[in-house]
Structure 1
């Protein structure tokens, strides 16, 4: 599995001398892309670096990398040096300068070979005439260690190989995507590939939703992906079958699932298409569906299987009424899938733990290559997501994690235009007799050929827009309308029925490109359209920039990449992937590209299997004059502290002015914080090295060194430094070593102390004193300790307490162990309490804390870890 291969390379020395240049550095004239917006590039007086990119999303060790920069001269010809600089976590790796001429555009190219170490991320900065841009490089022999998954969702007939190549190239250049989920590519959930009577692959097949899919197009996308080092993952269902499953696939009702009350588990997705659910642990079902998974790989060329489920629908039984443990069934199915794929060309196995359902069973299955979680109402807070990801990491032993979080999903966000205020054809009227509409009313009884509603909209910039028509339809039948932009038809919208005229819905949106300025959007009932609807409004659907930035920062800082970007550079906002009901502004699109550069360049500090959470309470980091929180509380700067084999990492996420939920739109742009005075409490044994800060919000992700001072106050030993600026997200990372104290004894009086004092008035203590006045809630002692080996650790706590006392032991901010410290009889009598728990080799944060339910007073002399 990927993480094991990663660990074999953790001890490889990273060569930071000059990398070998394996091809001549050249500047070539080519059609340059227009400049991106956001902080990815900065214009100079005469030349702009519009875009910078590399030729592949992932490289094998020793594989040459070609970096390209699109240059554009302002009103003439520019000739000058273009400098390429490669760094790893801020350390220089390679640099070179080429001469380029933009007349008015050109593309400057440079080819170099990174150091031989596997599983490393690099930042490339390009400078030309004072203008700068950034790109990133991922050197990894296995993509599952640092997965960056995107998606495809449409497979029309007639797509050429060149067109498929171009689409995949666009995605990997913009976002470094190294894997693609092929969403709803299949014919049926229970039989993905359709064949004719002779066993030949069908030319096309019609999916459950009416989409016509060309398997040749699917194959061309797979070919294009493989040519560009991108894995191809087929969306597959773990336990679902469509109508007529007995006749089509030979399935038996005896394999199916029921609710606890005996009702069979099935439901209607759209009229005429039902899903019927089967027991994933049933051996007959497993033989059937895993054979389909193998067929997908052997016939289409996929790289394994990506398995989906529907989350927690309550207690289930098998067909005979015996209770079914679905998470255990998922584990069994995954293991059977792994066996079925053995020896094939595609052996990757992944499964969606929908909103955490089955997460533990999947994480401990021993066969998945990444942990994928679609987030719903159980994980709406930033801290909910972090806790889930931390648990997955602990249970899996460091497996990579991927989030599917549909931002702004519940919101019809964007500029709104009321239908009742638009230009209506003469036979249309308005009404207010059905509740739930927006504005002063809605358009009523829209159902006669020739009727139309004309909206005049203003596009603030030139780009693609989503047209979201809010409607009511209680006719029981699907209605349709033709959409025209400035008089030209751009598509047809279908309006699915709902149960009441008081129920307002959104159909799958139409997307269209608009130039900046005014346009007419017409919704018309033509001779080929049908049905009656009420029309409420038109929204130009768009993502809320602040929520997108904060959520993506939170996911990455918590250790997970997100499946977000896909076909035609659309971003997911809906679990039905082809629903592109929201678009990115040009500025936000530029930020997203820079975000992928940043997270690729710093993948080792964000996603490495050796990166884990340490205690992020307020005792670890303080910022003068600013409210901070280790729990992502509203209106604070969230301090998310982590640790790798050789770095301490502090993530600062600016939640000031906002709540603790990541999904909703309507967030306030956080006020920029400048010159933050920070103290980071490190304790007596950590030996600090260089401290750097980097952010996707500025300088193209380039890190800068921060000077610091080492001091001691009533809370312990700390580093003090100034962070120049915090917009959305800053990442601080400190190189460090650690000196284990003699005998493995950690004196409490020199640890990081919260709300306690140091005393010397009771004899018999070791060291220079002991922790005193440890009696009030929210006080404690924080110690960094080294475990010499992986296994069961024994922690000995030397203490004094006249009466029995309770405390909470927290390890790495997660493992919480209640402690009872028996009375020692007097403050002058010292005793030792022992607690055992599993621990991995390496450094750990160990906290003794007085929580809300703890009681009593205690003095702490020292702690020993064996």
Structure 2
């Protein structure tokens, strides 16, 4: 029996390690020293880690796969999550719910979330955390009178830091929660030029019902800038936050106090005109140490914000916003991509998208509640969130080069994890099924592992023609913009030395992303098989095209592939102009596929590294993609009038070279198209922006620890054997697995992850067994907890000899219990 570890970047195997075992019936063994050496790793790079267990004939007994990101700057590939009040306790953040929050944060950590913003965790906009106050009730919050325990907030911020992530404090950039008694004189307020947020000439005010909730200052007002900078710096210093997630109520044409009654537009300006100067003023007043971003509601102010020193770009997108595509609103998947493309072109950054799914409408003035849309009916009927609706938005945003912020920790008694369905984050009516969480987990692994292909430096839309046909020759890619449904939306991107083709399945469904009608508007597309993708290679020579045809791969986060990158069958044809066309066979499409085409025909393949002498192998994936599910998937792996659409809606309170010998495939190397393995790392202090650290976010399951190590240090240190400070252990047992008869990946509530720890000399992959309560709460110092992964084998399935290596008769009845989770 052998335990194998493989580290892969795109199609290249970077490094491997394995340990051989001899196991007797009914016995268990602990295996150490599966190592990911720091010299294998490059900063701001995503990797796929696969761990598999094989019998002595090479058959896969069980396996897991996860994305690993090595990064010294989370803003390059932001993966944003939410912490907000609990719907179980009047939207409050309470000490008594800390354990529930911790469990959710551990799960989100395993989903590679590297940044969190704490929503509505403040007392009031102009005094977020009063000094000397342990708990406060939000007086402005008239619908639930939310309570916030500052100890709870501090402990959650600490937990975020221990995971190697950053914590952002949410607050409006120009709001005052006391409309009748604002903190600054009336001269500092913004005044409506048109009837919009109140009457013309009156202070810009947000009202819920008949209750004025917030009044707004002009972000350009220097007195306001100095005041709020001092307030926010004090709050972030005392509570340990790393930055400010600034929010806006939407754009509006305003005047200053002196010109509040003027009808001359020259005396007015848009609130968004001052976003950039406000951000830059905050950077100067608060300091570069703190991160800052502003929610540009519905986008469109990219030109204004181009000179802003904001660290990431965040847009909350609504269907009432104007699309980048002329003459449209932002209602379709393609409109989301268009906005992401615009931000990328203007700023060079990957857009964080806030796009809330379904938004169940329920009128609670009616006894028992009355649904006002299909999603509301679903919620009242107790139905969960429609999984594919969420996954399709995740796929669209990621394939376009952005990140969909959707996962939230709410300490919700009705959900192990939450997916945002409303702009008021504690109000999430639809539960999230375990299988949906499992799929979300797999998508997060994919987005992390292939981040350089999806949104790396230089990745842009390709000008090469691309299309998709079915087995009958019917063209399924009917609309390159992605605004029409009932198609396989296909678009190409290019990067340095490669291209990708993104395939989003909309067969049998419409292109609307919001899905407010819930299950009445089915979002599960018709699965496709045996597709053909044609990609123009115009400009390539015949020789170059032939080389490229041998460097085509397919992968998907969906269950048929679970991030496994497989060699695809590809051939060449010529178009009417005699230019080469790459013809690629795609065996299956569920929701989202990505084709990876290596176009660098001169590069020498990376020579893989093995941690065990004599086990060096070729590093290029060469096996053809198969429509069959891999063996391992059969195992259990335990504005004002001028811009009315830029305002937030009212809301409740991705031919062989004959001179080259065919190389073994990844499937041959790890003998599996595995499902995810968790990555976590041991704990170190978090030093905010000055840290310049590698963040190896763990990628696997419900609980783990993390570490940050300076990127320069991690990249330069040599591989070595495992020291006493970081150890890895795999326990192999011949006891039967409790889930041995399961035929597909399943959610295990008790399992804990495999971890990777990067020390000064190396990184260690550490499969972790399910911990007892006391073990799971054990503190860590320099290293991760010493735990183990259990590989279970029923005694009846092993050979009678207790001195020989176990021979497994039924591979579906063996599981890696310790790293089972999702």
**Where does residue 561 of structure 2 map in the other structure?**
699
**Where does residue 323 of structure 1 map in the other structure?**
268
Matched position secondary structure for 1:594: helix
**Where does residue 489 of structure 2 map in the other structure?**
638
Moved more, 278-287 or 679-688: 679-688
How far 1:702 sits from its partner (Å)?
0.7
Matched position secondary structure for 1:356: coil
**Where does residue 178 of structure 2 map in the other structure?**
243
Q: 1:366 to 1:253 in 2, by over 3 A?
A: closer
For residues 422-468 of structure 1, give each alpha carbon's deviation from its aligned partner in whole angstroms, at most 9, with x where no partner exists.
xxxxxxxxxxxxxxxxxxxxxxxxxxxxxxxxxxxxxxxxxxxxxxx
**Where does residue 474 of structure 2 map in the other structure?**
625
CA distance in 2, matches of 1:357, 1:105: 60
Query: Contact 2:17–2:35 (CA<8 Å) still a contact in 1?
Result: no
**Where does residue 586 of structure 2 map in the other structure?**
723
**Where does residue 314 of structure 2 map in the other structure?**
372
Q: 1:376 to 1:188 in 2, by over 3 A?
A: same
CA distance in 1, matches of 2:404, 2:378: 34
Q: 1:304 to 1:111 in 2, by over 3 A?
A: same
CA distance in 2, matches of 1:673, 1:262: 58
Q: 1:609 to 1:246 in 2, by over 3 A?
A: farther
2:219 matched to 1:358?
no
Q: How does 1:389-788 map to 2 (within 5 A)?
A: 389-396=340-347, 398-409=348-359, 411=360, 471-473=364-366, 538-567=380-409, 568=411, 569-615=417-463, 624-628=473-477, 629-632=479-482, 633-664=484-515, 665=518, 666-685=521-540, 687-688=544-545, 689=548, 690-697=551-558, 698-715=560-577, 716-737=579-600
CA distance in 1, matches of 2:371, 2:187: 37
**Where does residue 440 of structure 1 map in the other structure?**
none
Query: Contact 2:81–2:408 (CA<8 Å) still a contact in 1?
Result: yes
Matched position secondary structure for 1:262: coil
For residues 171-198 of structure 1, give each alpha carbon's deviation from its aligned partner in whole angstroms, at most 9, with x where no partner exists.
201x111011100011111221223xxx
Matched position secondary structure for 1:225: helix
How far 1:678 sits from its partner (Å)?
2.3
Matched position secondary structure for 2:298: helix
Gaps of 5+ in 2: 54-59, 86-91, 195-199, 261-266, 322-329, 412-416, 603-822
2:281 matched to 1:336?
yes
Matched position secondary structure for 1:143: coil
**Where does residue 118 of structure 1 map in the other structure?**
43
**Where does residue 80 of structure 2 map in the other structure?**
149
Q: TM-score, normalised by structure 2?
A: 0.61
How far 1:201 sits from its partner (Å)?
4.3
How far 1:573 sits from its partner (Å)?
0.7
CA distance in 1, matches of 2:408, 2:108: 7
Query: Contact 1:334–1:367 (CA<8 Å) still a contact in 2?
Result: yes
Q: How does 1:123-202 map to 2 (within 5 A)?
A: 123-128=48-53, 129-154=60-85, 156-159=93-96, 166-173=103-110, 175-195=111-131, 200-202=132-134
For residues 36-91 of structure 1, give each alpha carbon's deviation from its aligned partner in whole angstroms, at most 9, with x where no partner exists.
xxxxxxxxxxxxxxxxxxxxxxxxxxxxxxxxxxxxxxxxxxxx543222211121
How far 1:163 sits from its partner (Å)?
7.0
CA distance in 1, matches of 2:163, 2:392: 31
List structure 1 segments (4+ residues) > 4 angstroms apart after TM superposition: 98-111, 159-167, 270-273, 503-506, 620-623
Matched position secondary structure for 2:250: coil
For residues 807-855 of structure 1, give each alpha carbon's deviation from its aligned partner in whole angstroms, at most 9, with x where no partner exists.
xxxxxxxxxxxxxxxxxxxxxxxxxxxxxxxxxxxxxxxxxxxxxxxxx
Q: 1:229 to 1:631 in 2, by over 3 A?
A: same
Matched position secondary structure for 1:737: coil
Q: 1:169 to 1:270 in 2, by over 3 A?
A: farther
1:257 to 185, 188, 191: 191
**Where does residue 59 of structure 1 map in the other structure?**
none
CA distance in 1, matches of 2:504, 2:490: 7
Q: 1:639 to 1:340 in 2, by over 3 A?
A: same
CA distance in 2, matches of 1:106, 1:238: 57
Moved more, 320-329 or 93-102: 93-102
Q: 1:388 to 1:161 in 2, by over 3 A?
A: closer
Query: Contact 2:395–2:504 (CA<8 Å) still a contact in 1?
Result: yes
Q: 1:617 to 1:636 in 2, by over 3 A?
A: farther
How far 1:590 sits from its partner (Å)?
1.0
Query: Contact 2:552–2:596 (CA<8 Å) still a contact in 1?
Result: yes
1:233 to 149, 168, 173: 168
How far 1:232 sits from its partner (Å)?
0.2
Matched position secondary structure for 1:566: strand
Matched position secondary structure for 2:313: strand
CA distance in 1, matches of 2:397, 2:552: 23
Matched position secondary structure for 1:605: helix
**Where does residue 836 of structure 1 map in the other structure?**
none
CA distance in 2, matches of 1:103, 1:366: 64
Q: 1:537 to 1:680 in 2, by over 3 A?
A: closer
Matched position secondary structure for 1:546: helix
**Where does residue 649 of structure 2 map in the other structure?**
none
**Where does residue 25 of structure 1 map in the other structure?**
none
Q: 1:703 to 1:108 in 2, by over 3 A?
A: farther
Matched position secondary structure for 2:95: coil
2:226 to 279, 283, 287: 287
Quick check: which has more Rg, 1 or 2?
1
For residues 785-818 of structure 1, give each alpha carbon's deviation from its aligned partner in whole angstroms, at most 9, with x where no partner exists.
xxxxxxxxxxxxxxxxxxxxxxxxxxxxxxxxxx
Count of residues in Structure 1 that have an aligned counterpart in Structure 2:
539
2:166 matched to 1:303?
no
For residues 607-659 of structure 1, give each alpha carbon's deviation from its aligned partner in whole angstroms, at most 9, with x where no partner exists.
213211123766x6666323213111221111121111121111011111111
Moved more, 145-154 or 268-277: 268-277
Q: 1:104 to 1:555 in 2, by over 3 A?
A: farther
CA distance in 2, matches of 1:305, 1:471: 34
**Where does residue 208 of structure 1 map in the other structure?**
140
CA distance in 1, matches of 2:378, 2:586: 49
Q: 1:158 to 1:584 in 2, by over 3 A?
A: closer
2:336 to 367, 385, 396: 385
Q: 1:240 to 1:103 in 2, by over 3 A?
A: farther
**Where does residue 264 of structure 2 map in the other structure?**
none
How far 1:365 sits from its partner (Å)?
2.6
Matched position secondary structure for 1:578: coil
